Amino acid sequence: MESDRPGPTRGGQQQTLTGLKFRLSSLFFWMTVAATLLALMRDVPLKQVPILLVVFAPPLTCVPFLLDRWLYRDERGLDFSVARRIWLILAVAAYSVLALLLATIAFPPDWKGHKGLHPLFYIHDYPAGMTIWPIYALGVGSFMRAISDPRYARRSPVNLVMVATAAIVSMWYAFSVLLLKFAGDAKVLAIVPGSVGICYSIYCGIIVKYANFRPAAWRASSGGLTLWLGATVAAILAKYPLALRVYEALPDKPPQDCFIVTAASRGSPRWVGSWRDAASGRLLNRQLLVFWGFETWLKVRVPRTHRFIRFWYNWLGPLVARTIRFRWQANVVFLLLKPAEWLAARCLVGPPR
């Protein structure tokens, strides 16, 4: 007698194989990521690794999910669950906007040769980097809309081109970090724009696979495509003259090490009370001397706390100091440091008797 239980179907076998392939592809991907991180972080202290993973992991987590959706047939196509939509918007879109904005304004060069002896090495620095910013922001905004509304992704060829543009810009930032001498030893920062660019590229592949645009849709979108491509080309052409201006304004020799308090002492002399030391030629003020004395006090009283604070200040201080370019900025930073200066001076004087 034959059993009424249905046998294994081809669809069930395909589902099993797909799940197996997903696990294998994810395993291969995370092994590659781990090897890359270990290679890039050979000189990084072990205690910094968790912090770096928190910084770089969000866009990386989206790569295997999007890759699986693109490589293997899924009846949902461009439809994502609410939780995955939120995570894609936060970990890819919002994360990439913040990362590229910081890359544009927070890592200015100190001198000619800091990133290379040619203006092309400075096309991502402010203000040259801001020319492409509206284009990139619009492309990311279109990606966010497509994630939230799959119907928009299926019917808009312009969205496909805009997201592809965001992918190209992200990958170009990763290329500049790796090969255009971006911030010296900070090549690990290429993980963020690189993984974001991969996510945008895979999503473009998903759109091509599931949207299946017809020639009529491309013809109907010809006006928007022409406008978008024209604006992109204009933004790219405007970058080099601005980068040349940035390059020519830089000093020929590298400056001495500059930290936040030192940069604040370069404000208006009447405001920050600065003077030029005759012996060393350095610019000094009372705030700088107080913090120097406070560091010595920390080194003697609590050496472990001093090492912890000094480690992070050595990493963060120069980055913040490079953004202080004008006197009014130095005046504002001087004022913001006043409460810390008063607290440091109180520690040096000691409690009243």
Q: What is the pLDDT of residues 222-249, one digit of tens each?
A: 999 999 999 999 998 988 888 888 788 7
- pLDDT-based confidence at 336, cuts 50/70/90? confident
Average pLDDT over residues 149-176: 91
Q: pLDDT value at position 175?
A: 83
DSSP states along 117-165:
SSGGGGTTSTTGGGGSHHHHHHHHHHHHHHHH-HHHHHH-HHHHHHHHH
Which of 292, 339, 284, 286 is CA-nearest to residue 313?
292
Average pLDDT over residues 142-155: 92
Average pLDDT score over residue span 64-70: 81
CA angle in degrees (0–180, nearest 5) for 6-7-13: 125
DSSP calls for 21-39:
HHHHHHHHHHHHHHHHHHH
Per-residue confidence (pLDDT) for residue 272, from 0 to 100: 85
Task: Give the per-residue pLDDT at 75.
Answer: 59
Cis ω for the linkage preceding 127 (within 30 of 0) = yes
Of the given ranges (15-19, 84-88, 115-119), which has the lowest mean pLDDT? 15-19
Rounded to an integer, what distance in angstroms lies between the CA atom of residue 350 and that of residue 29?
Answer: 56
pTM above threshold 0.75: no
